[in-house]
Amino acid sequence: MKYKSIICLIFSVLTLPLAGWGKPETTQAVSVVKLRTELLNNPVGIDATQPRLSWNIAGAGRGIRQTAWQIIAASSPEKLASGQGDLWNSGKVESDQSLHIRYSGAALKSNTHCYWKVKVWTNKGESGWSNSASLTVGLLNYVDWKGRWIGADHGFPWDSETQWSRLSARYLRKEFDTKKEVKHATAYIIGLGLYELYLNGQKVGDQVLAPGPTDYLKGVKYNAFDVTGFLKAGKNAVGTVLGNGRYYTMRQKYKPYKIKTFGYPKLLFNLIIEYKDGSSETVVSDESWKLTADGPIRSNNEYDGEEYDARKEMPGWSTPGFNDSKWQEAEFVQEPGGTYEAQMNENMKVMATIKPVSIRKQGAKYILDMGQNFAGWLRLRVKGAKGDSVKLRFGENVQPNGELYVRNLRDARSTDVYVLKGAGQESWEPAFIYHGFRFVEVSGYPGTPTINDFDGRVVYDDMKNTGTFSTSDATVNQIYKNAYWGILSNYKGMPVDCPQRNERQPWLGDRTTGSYGESFVFDNSRLYAKWLDDIHQSQKEDGSIPDVAPAFWRYYGDNVTWPATYITVAEMLYRQYGDLESIRKHYDPMKKWMDYMAGKYTQDGLIIKDKYGDWCVPPESKELIHSRDPKRQTDGVLIASATYIRLSSIMEDFARLLGKDQDAADFAKRAETIRQAFNKKFFDESKGQYSNNTITANLLPLVHGIVPEGSRDKLVKSIADKILVENKGHIGTGVIGTQWLMRGLSEYGRADIAFRLATNRDYPSWGYMIDNGATTIWELWNGNTANPTMNSANHVMLLGDLIIWYYENVAGIKSDPAAPAFKRILMKPDMIEGLQSASASYESVQGMIKSEWKRSSGTFSWTITVPANTSAMVYIPAKSAEQVKEGKKKAGLTEGVKFLRMEGNRAVFEVGSGNYSFTSTL
């Protein structure tokens, strides 16, 4: 049987999918194929000899299931096109697996190229060969890197090194010849802290703020680029600008006991040129390079801003023939100490450009309003005299008198300066900093600026937006939009807490559940797999894990809830992306931490160490940051022990996945032992409450399976009464409780309460933030009134599980835990009074999933899309299966739809891939 098919190849290298677009080679009638390429274009420089390969299947018709696959891999495009799998020909493999197929061909060595394609067999027929895809292996071993680290391990006379250091960018260059015809050229660069790479005057790549940040004493990331098209016959030139980034922190003499510093910017560079005659040569960083720091970037500091003097520009500095006689020889410098690692997560990029909405005069200055809080910078257009200086000062808000509000930035100066060269119209944007802002104070601008003189440049990791979500409720929709902007603002090569003040740290506790919700909005698989490596590298020999990783701040306080993120992120990567490799890779250090905490902090059968409590619970006064009322505070031992029980259950699952049955039994026993001690100490069965009856105290044992049989209903009533009566229908949880609040309420029959919390507009609520001008999510429920030292207007930690609830409970798109990575989809939207419709889409690793439902005049209508090679369990509100139609027929009689059972007021059907349109009578 012929059918239309689409085969979508997705590279999964190490733990992560990569992808691109193309048209398949086939003799059948096949639609255009989309191949995602989301890493280093090709990808180039992967850090694996056995990359994992994945693909999607899609086609017209229902119930498409893969039955077999075949992969061919070759060392050249020509060989692959002719069907020569000189690297690997898998032959026909009987399997429905389409994710994470491990390459099993000839050994792939450093700087080797691999081209591959796949064909599949399905229950509907056989596909043609897919479009080809390629990858290049990076420099796998330390000795594969040639040359030396170069730079200058000192400041220059115009620099200053204080709490607010000013250190200029370093410019390095070298000329070289190519005397033969070039077949292929690959550039490998480690530019610390940040770099821009140029060949013959052209910037290589569209990445910014590269490479990704790490603890440079433990690991440093390199980027690789196919630069074949950049080279020309004869004389060539390579140039690199080095910025400071997290390597030179600009806080060199500020709290050295707390803040890690690493040294001065430095470079390691290899350009491997392969010629058509089979020979090759490598251009390396060495003493033949020239260096100057007397260029236009006079200072660059993530917290304080960038200063650029256009009078110092050096036209042609990265092209052949430039006069560098006044430059000094590059110095050999110490290497950073960390292992060289290919960067497998996306680099940051300018992902969008937005226009200001207004500009107004404020005394001698101007206040620019971008209309949206975000992270990035401003692009400036200006015309004036040589030496004119424009100052741009950034903030999230304005004061009542109209002045820029900067108190919540602490000591971050967040100011850019541009000095004009006086050559007509000039345009500038910074290279090595970013700001979190909505408003900009402009001073020194020659003439009268207009909004057309500025662009907002939105910067975050170059990851695909995978989800859409909307409902009939305007408040819910605006909260989702605010969440979207808050999430992207805080992706900076690592997930940070905020983008604006003198912090911007990768706090673990902010993403314990947040990473899961974010995965519906963005393909964050590569970022979070990289972050697991950061956490592992930060772990001490005894097993301790910090609250911030990479450990730029030395916060080894030992508690359960923040380091728990190490385990919950690995669980998310498996649940959402099918990434078992991250579990395998990190299982031993995760177990080491679990054993460390239990061994050091067990008392009377409970885990006693908690550091932060239910962080940022709504306080009793809107002027407070943290509540001082014991009635609002949840016992730290309860929080630590309940969380540890859940982590033990996750570790039990991990152990079983890895075939570690004894470990699984040990974790199950550990959880049960703590559970018994927990209920003995905290549970008052007669009252149906735990500890002092806070929402979090009751919620954690409920959702973590701790509550004794027969007591759940009473406990749910205690939670409901607390919210509806005592809190007058408002939220009463902080970071810990909010991670489970919305799903917990829905799971135990109180989706109505969850919806009320989601749609409130008065304090405390997400809607209250909107009514007070928020375009992102605040750090505090009372962020407009609390102490400015902790009222970031762009945080994500208080989202808790709200985004998960949106997709899984409101829209009804959820991966079955028993068949992860959406191999089987659970589609069961909550029917909530007051919500008339919801629409969502999610581009899963299996393909596009859609859900759009509407209630009107006693009728429920629902259209869904299920990707090929998957199935879905569809729970349709109905009094009986007879009342459910798919299209114009009874659902149970249509192709691809199988009735299973009634569950309460839901008719449960199983469907295969395809598009479906259900209706039922409510």
**Tokens 């101007």 -> residue:** 366
pLDDT on residue 771: 97
pLDDT on residue 161: 84
DSSP state of 808: I
Print the SS3 string covering 835-897: CCEEEEEEEECCEEEEEEEEEECCEEEEEEEECCCCEEEEEEECCCHHHEEECCEEHHHCCCE
The per-residue DSSP string of 20-48 comes to --B--B-SS--PPB-----SSSS-EEES-
The H-assigned helical ranges of 396-466 are none
Q: By C-alpha distance, which of 505, 615, 495, 509 is closest to 564?
A: 509
Residue 585 near residue 579 (C-beta atoms within 8 A): no
Task: Please state whether the peptide bond connecting residue 550 to the residue before it is cis, i.e. omega within 30 degrees of 0.
Answer: yes
Q: Is it the case that residue 252 has pLDDT exceeding 90?
A: no
Integer Rg of the chain from CA: 29
pLDDT per residue as tens digits for the range 286-297: 999 999 999 999
Q: By C-alpha distance, which of 142, 141, 114, 131 is closest to 51?
A: 114
Q: Is it the case that residue 726 has pLDDT exceeding 80?
A: yes
In which element (H, E) is residue 683 found? strand 683-684
CA atoms within 13 A on the CB side of 210: 31
> Would you state the structure tokens that stand for residue 616, as one six-digit string?
């940022």
For the chain, counts of helices (H) and of strands (E) = 15, 53
Residues paired with residue 437 on neighbouring β-strands, in sequence order: 374
Q: Is it the case that residue 240 has pLDDT exceeding 50?
A: yes
pLDDT on residue 44: 87
Confidence of residue 731 (pLDDT cuts 50, 70, 90): very high
% of the chain surpassing 70 pLDDT = 95
Confidence of residue 42 (pLDDT cuts 50, 70, 90): low
- Around Cβ 215, how many Cβ atoms within 10 Å? 20
pLDDT per residue as tens digits for the range 830-860: 999 999 999 999 999 999 999 999 999 899 9
User: How far apart (Å, rounded) are the C-alpha atoms in residues 379 and 385?
Assistant: 19
- Around Cβ 661, how many Cβ atoms within 10 Å? 10
Angle at 659 between CA 655 and CA 662, to 5 degrees: 65
> In 3-state terms, what secondary structure has residue 229?
helix
pLDDT on residue 45: 85
Q: By C-alpha distance, which of 706, 682, 705 is closest to 693?
A: 682
Q: Is it the case that residue 451 has pLDDT exceeding 80?
A: yes
User: How far apart (Å, rounded) are the C-alpha atoms in residues 96 and 888?
Assistant: 32
Confidence of residue 261 (pLDDT cuts 50, 70, 90): confident
Torsion 898-899-903-905 (CA) sign: positive
pLDDT on residue 163: 79
Average pLDDT, integer, range 375-401? 98
User: How far apart (Å, rounded) are the C-alpha atoms in residues 615 and 887?
Assistant: 49
* 70 contact partners, CB below 8 Å, separation of at least 6: 89, 90, 91, 92, 93, 118, 119, 120
pTM of the predicted structure, to 2 decimals: 0.95
Confidence of residue 922 (pLDDT cuts 50, 70, 90): confident
pLDDT on residue 862: 98
Q: Is it the case that residue 613 has pLDDT exceeding 80?
A: yes
pLDDT on residue 259: 87
DSSP state of 129: B
**Tokens 């989809």 -> residue:** 825
Q: Is it the case that residue 12 has pLDDT exceeding 80?
A: no
User: How far apart (Å, rounded) are the C-alpha atoms in residues 295 and 298?
Assistant: 7
Q: Is it the case that residue 208 has pLDDT exceeding 50?
A: yes
Average pLDDT, integer, range 260-275? 96
User: How far apart (Å, rounded) are the C-alpha atoms in residues 185 and 583?
Assistant: 36
Q: Is it the case that residue 490 has pLDDT exceeding 90?
A: yes
* 505 contact partners, CB below 8 Å, separation of at least 6: 496, 497, 548, 552, 553
Confidence of residue 515 (pLDDT cuts 50, 70, 90): very high
Residue 881 near residue 848 (C-beta atoms within 8 A): no
Average pLDDT, integer, range 43-71? 90
pLDDT on residue 8: 46
Amino acid at 3: Y
Average pLDDT, integer, range 645-674? 98
Q: Are strands 404-405 and 397-398 parallel, antiparallel or unpaired?
A: antiparallel
pLDDT on residue 21: 25
Domains of the chain with CATH codes: 6-137 (2.60.40.10), 146-344 (2.60.120.260), 350-461 (2.60.120.260), 467-800 (1.50.10.10), 825-921 (2.60.420.10)
Q: Is it the case that residue 244 has pLDDT exceeding 90?
A: yes
Q: Is it the case that residue 895 has pLDDT exceeding 80?
A: yes
Mean pLDDT value across the chain: 93
% of the chain surpassing 90 pLDDT = 90
Q: Is it the case that residue 32 has pLDDT exceeding 70?
A: no
The per-residue DSSP string of 472-498 comes to S-HHHHHHHHHHHHHHHHTBSSSB-S-
User: How far apart (Å, rounded) are the C-alpha atoms in residues 464 and 335?
Assistant: 34
Confidence of residue 251 (pLDDT cuts 50, 70, 90): low
Q: Is it the case that residue 38 has pLDDT exceeding 50?
A: no
Q: Are strands 328-329 and 847-856 parallel, antiparallel or unpaired?
A: unpaired
pLDDT on residue 29: 26
Q: By C-alpha distance, which of 607, 576, 792 is closest to 700?
A: 607
pLDDT per residue as tens digits for the range 777-836: 999 999 999 988 889 999 999 999 999 999 999 999 999 999 999 999 999 999 999 999
Q: Is it the case that residue 589 has pLDDT exceeding 70?
A: yes
pLDDT on residue 25: 31
Q: Is it the case that residue 35 has pLDDT exceeding 80?
A: no
Average pLDDT, integer, range 34-51? 61
Average pLDDT, integer, range 762-782? 97
